[in-house]
Each structure stands twice: as structure tokens, then as C-alpha cells.
Amino acid sequence: MKRVATNAEATRAVAMEFVSGLEVGKVVALVGDLGAGKTEFVKGLAAGLGSTAVVTSPTFTLIHEYRGGRLPLYHMDFYRLSSEDELDEIGFDEYLSRPGICAVEWANRFPERIPGAAIWVTLSIAENNERLICW
């Protein structure tokens, strides 16, 4: 699928539509440069699930959990991870098997840790702040 989002709100709206079709256990692997809109997309995932939780980049805590929606959403970010060992320390694989949805920013940093059934979503910056969102 391919979508063009002309602003941040539109990126969130694409994510809201996207998440409506996801079943429990799905992993969403997000790829895109800094500022491409990966975190905005996760905001839309949370909103689409029906959570009113505030979504922020999981920089130091590495994993955020958003509840109150149809399914819990686990938000990870591989950006600051220097080695795969840190994924074991935070129990990454255990989150993947929880009954929720996992969204992983910078998933391409450790692609071998992403399950084969994951949906890869790529965000790229086009002209006029537009983002191209493909999955």
C-alpha cells in the first residue's frame, strides 16, 4: 500500500486506518530517517486503537506501553541501542509475544530481531513536508 500524507495529522490518520486492520500480536516495523514521522505514525496507531495515552519517543526507557485501547500498544525505538544485547536486557522478545501490538522505530537497525510476520512500514520525506508511507 502507498499513501501520501501532507502534514503530521495526515500521517496519524494513515496510521489510524492502518491499525484498524491489525490483529493481536502484530509487529509494525518502522523505517525512515530522523524526522520522517515514525513517532507521528505511532501516535496514530495509539489513537486508532482507542488509547488516549500520550505518545512520546521511548529514548531512555526504550519501551513505552500505551493502554486503554482495543489492544495494548508497545512502542520501541532501536535508535539509541548500541548492541543487540540491550534488546535481551529489556526483554524485547518477551514483548513480541505479548497479546498486543508492537511498533518498533528504526527496526532496520536490527532487522534479524524482527519476526518474519511483521509489517514493514517505510516513511520517506518528499517535497513540501509531504511524507510517502509504504507498507
Ligand X SMILES: Nc1ncnc2c1ncn2[C@@H]1O[C@H](COP(=O)(O)OP(=O)(O)O)[C@@H](O)[C@H]1O
Q: Which residues are near ligand X by CB under 6 A?
A: 5-8, 10-11, 32, 34-40, 105, 129-131
Q: Which is nearer to ligand X, 1 or 93 (CB)?
A: 1
Is the separation of the CB atoms in 42 and 111 below 8 Å?
Answer: no
Measured CA to CA, the distance from residue 69 to residue 32 in angstroms comes to: 26
Least CB distance from residue 130 to ligand X, whole Å? 6
User: Cell digits for 112?
Assistant: 534479524
Which residue from 12, 39, 53, 73 is in contact with Mg ion, where contact means CB under 5 A? 39
Q: What is the 3-state secondary structure (H, E, C) of the chain?
A: CEEEECCHHHHHHHHHHHHHCCCCCCEEEEECCCCCCHHHHHHHHHHHHCCCCCCCCCCCCCEEEECCCCCCEEEEECCCCCCCHHHHHCCHHHHHCCCCEEEEECHHHCHHHCCCCCEEEEEEECHHHCEEEEC
Q: Rule CB under 5 A: is residue 11 a binding residue for Mg ion?
A: no
Task: Pick the piece of the chain touching Mg ion (CB under 5 A) from 23-31, 54-62, 82-90, 109-117.
Answer: 54-62
- List the single partner that 129 binds among Mg ion, ligand X, none, CB under 5 to 8 Å by kind: ligand X
Q: Which is nearer to Mg ion, 12 or 38 (CB)?
A: 38
Q: Which is nearer to ligand X, 34 or 117 (CB)?
A: 34
Least CB distance from residue 85 to ligand X, whole Å? 24
Rule CB under 5 A: which residues touch Mg ion? Answer: 38-39, 57, 105
